[in-house]
Amino acid sequence: MTRPALRVDAVLVQAVIAGALSFAHLHDLAAAAGQDGWKAWAYPISVDLLLVASWRRLRSDGPSRLAWCWFVIALVASLGANVATAGLLDLDHVPAWLRILVAAWPALAFMGGTLLAHSTTDPVPDPPAPAAPIPEPNPEPVTETEPEPVPEPVPAVDDIPVLPAPEPAPASPVPAALVDHARKVADDHRTRTGSPIDTDTLRARLGVPPHLADAIAAQLA
């Protein structure tokens, strides 16, 4: 089984170059602030380790104020050294306040690394499970009893009013021409059959409604 050849990654090369430049700037600033010898080389390692430790804390445990605080402090220290050594600061005459910051950095970095390594984030408690609802007892259905109808009093025979009988509806007027035509039809029916024509046959021969056929038959009688 052949092992894959080492592939040069452009991002990795860029990270190595940027790290080397930042390392050199931090070394130069520390040496200019009076930290000579091996101490000047330890400052870049301290700053970069604090930056990496805080970033790993953010990636592993999630965002937290502690990790963000030390990440910003290490980033400001690294960027400040890069900007200060770019010609904006006379490294032969470093101001007193910068010497104080460089001298105080080891204690500050030690405290930050210790807090990041040994402090634990409080786990977020799981929300309590919702309590199971207590089943309510099924109430017995209440049946409403309808009130018994009160019988109405039966009126006496003498109290019942006698209504007059309805008057017969007036017969519908029949046109004289229709009566003459009906008489001819009746005479023709008598001639052919020898019997008078009935109302149903008259209504069928004339094509009139029943009440009009009855009125015509009454006039022919």
- Is the separation of the CB atoms in 99 and 34 below 8 Å? yes
**Token reading at 33:** 């602030």
Residues sharing a CB contact under 8 Å with residue 89, sequence separation 6 or more, in sequence order: 98
The Cα 73–Cα 65 span in angstroms is 12
Mean pLDDT by groups of 10 residues along the chain of 221 residues: 61 79 81 84 86 85 84 86 78 82 85 79 55 59 61 59 56 72 82 82 80 78 70
* pLDDT score, position 64: 82
* pLDDT score, position 165: 59
- Is the separation of the CB atoms in 68 and 59 below 8 Å? no
Neighbours of 113 (CB within 10 A): 16
Q: Is 64 left (phi over 0), alpha (psi -120 to 50) or beta?
A: beta
Verdict on whether the full-model pTM lies above 0.75: no
For the chain, the structural domain boundaries read 10-118, 171-220
For residue 156, the SS3 value is coil
At position 25, the amino acid (one-letter code) is H
* pLDDT score, position 154: 58
Q: Is 87 left (phi over 0), alpha (psi -120 to 50) or beta?
A: left
**Token reading at 98:** 């910068």
* pLDDT score, position 163: 63
Q: What DSSP designation does 195 have?
A: S
- Is the separation of the CB atoms in 183 and 193 below 8 Å? no
* pLDDT score, position 98: 80
